[in-house]
Amino acid sequence: MTGATRYRVCDLLVESSVPLPELSQVEGGSPDCRFEVLPAAEGFAEDAHWFHQWITADKETWLKLADRGEDYLLRFLDQGDFLISRDGRDVRCCPLPGTPESTIRHLFLDQAVPLVLSRRESLVLHASAILTPQGVIAFVGKSGQGKSTLAACFGQSGFRLISDDYLVLRKMALRKMVEDWFAIPSYPGVRLWPEASDGIFSVPPESAEIAHYTDKRRVSDPALVPFAEGPSALRCLYFLNDEGDAFLPEPVILPLRPREAFMKLVSCAFSLDVRDKVRLERQFEAIGQITAQLPCFQLEYARDFAMLPAVRRMIVDQPVRSGL
Amino acid sequence: MTVVLNDHLRIPEEVLTSKVGDETVLLNLQTGMYYSLDPVGTRFLEVLQRTGRLDEVHHALLEQFDVSTAKLEADLLKLSQDMLARGLLVKDGE
């Protein structure tokens, strides 16, 4: 690719034909993934064999996945197509006419990249995560369950952000012989609804558009949400639910049995090809190890911004109470 | 599918198992469906994986749990039939 620039997202070195200002630029190195944006058109030719789709909470199809020759085809309805090679090394986007650059970047960074990573890593979870003195705490949940709000709340208190929306977990040993599950920092910034931003920050932060179809905005100021520099050991996981009980006077943390946590993690794991038995097996093993080794909790709290400091205090104390 | 106590059963290759705590999660790769077994079901599976024989499972669980022979046999046959129907077990030789 001529004029391409290299960036890092998680541990992935991406060579991109378009600027990705959300990411840090890097010099040198061999790219793990090439991203190319093609001229806008009506999508890639329709010789696709559809095998899966993602449905929104409103029961609408949001993303369709297909085999197309040697590639996977991701069709984001009304936005554009992405072709991903089987090995995840090449990603090409064919946006629909009129799709803004910010939306293309968002679809690549926040939708395509975690799916590419799911081909390379043991486990990629739909989760935000922050670094505490005891290690990394993950907030696992689906869209709209409060992952980014919690991450921003911790960031605003000086805790470093590991991830806003997708969390790469890798088993490795750092400076010791025993292997541990490590969280790999994704990229800086949190995506917040305006009311969440107003509820967390005392002064309106600088923010950037994420995509034309959402009012959410990206807050990347490192003074407000500092970003972690390297991998750190995962210490525990909190699972979020759809809506907090508005009448709960204070947050509640309930321990989950490993089997309960396992079933919840399964539904929050990214997978580009749900038919790929080898990778499903690897994912299954990873989830089994994580839920057997690490404390998992259900987090319940009223979705009231005034409640967030209490949630944060209780969570920061929780690993100590758990003996971590 | 009828199951009797002297049947030989095994977990097919397309089923993955993971022991999490004192429970077990199973994934049928052909259907993509997940299942879980409670601690007693987990013990059932452990003995079955080791011996492959339902009568051996019956014998082992009878020693471990305070349950009548007839009740345990009925429970084991019901669980086995259910797991066979979901493709989580197959009769040996199939």
Give the start-to-end residue ranges of the domains of chain B. Answer: 9-85
Q: What is the pLDDT of residue A85?
A: 96
Q: Which two tokens stand for residue A279?
A: 């990778």
- Per residue, the 3-state secondary structure of A148-206, as one string, reads HHHHHHHHHCCCEEEECCEEEEEEECCCCCCCEEEEECCCCCEEECHHHHHHHCCCCCC
- Check if A291 contacts B (Cβ < 8 Å): yes
* The pLDDT value given to residue A228: 96
Rounded mean pLDDT of chain A?
Answer: 91
pLDDT tens readout for residues A149-183: 999 999 999 999 999 999 999 999 876 677 899 99
Fold of the CATH domain A123-321:
Phosphoenolpyruvate Carboxykinase; domain 3 (3.90.228)
Residue A239 burial (C-beta neighbours within 10 Å; 0-12, 13-18, 19+): buried
Q: What pLDDT sits at residue A190?
A: 96
| Span A62-67, average pLDDT | 93
Is residue A128's pLDDT more than 90?
Answer: yes
- Residue in chain B closest to A276 (alpha carbons) equals B29
Residue A149 in contact with partner chain B when CB distance is under 8 A:
no
From the list A263, A285, A292, the residue facing B34 with the nearest CB is A263
pLDDT at A323: 43
- Give the pTM: 0.89
Q: Which of A257, A274, A280 sits opposite B21 (nearest CB)?
A: A257
pLDDT at residue A275 is higher than 90: no
User: Could you report the per-residue pLDDT of A287-297, keeping only the tens digit for each?
Assistant: 999 999 999 99
Q: Is the pLDDT of residue A324 over 50?
A: no
Residue A219 · residue A207 · CB < 8 Å? yes
Residue A243 in this model has a pLDDT that exceeds 80: no
Q: Does B33 touch chain A (CB under 8 A)?
A: no
A259 touches B: beta carbon within 8 Å: yes
A267 in contact with chain B, both atoms CB, cutoff 8 A:
no
- Average pLDDT of the segment spanning A204-223: 93
Could you tell me how many CB contacts below 8 A there are between chain A and chain B?
45
Residue A107 tokens read as 């679809």
Q: According to the model, what pLDDT value does residue A210 have?
A: 94
Ranges in chain B, pLDDT < 50: none
Taking CB atoms and an 8 Å cutoff, what residues of chain A touch B16?
Answer: 280-281, 284-285
**Which of A274, A280, A288 has the CB atom closest to B20's CB atom?**
A288
Which band of pLDDT confidence, cut at 50, 70 and 90, is reported for residue A3? confident
pLDDT-derived band at A318 (thresholds 50, 70, 90) equals confident
Q: Stretch A19-42: mean pLDDT, rounded?
A: 93
C-alpha distances (whole Å) from A19 to each of A24, A109, A276 are 11, 12, 32
pLDDT at A41 over 60: yes
Per-residue pLDDT tens over the stretch A105-114 = 999 999 999 9
Query: How confident is the model at residue B39, as a pLDDT?
Result: 92
Q: Show me where the domains of chain A are located.
A: 5-120, 123-321
Question: Distance (Å, rounded) from C-alpha A190 to C-alpha A188?
Answer: 7
Residues A202-219, mean pLDDT to the nearest whole number: 92
* Chain B: residue whose CA lies nearest to A261: B20
Which of A284, A287, A296 to mutate against chain B (most B CBs within 10 Å)? A284
CB spacing of A284 vs B18 below 8 angstroms = yes
Instruction: Give the per-residue pLDDT at A221.
Output: 93
Mean pLDDT of A93-104: 95
What is residue A1's predicted lDDT score, i.e. its pLDDT? 66
Q: CB–CB of B23 and A258 under 8 A?
A: yes
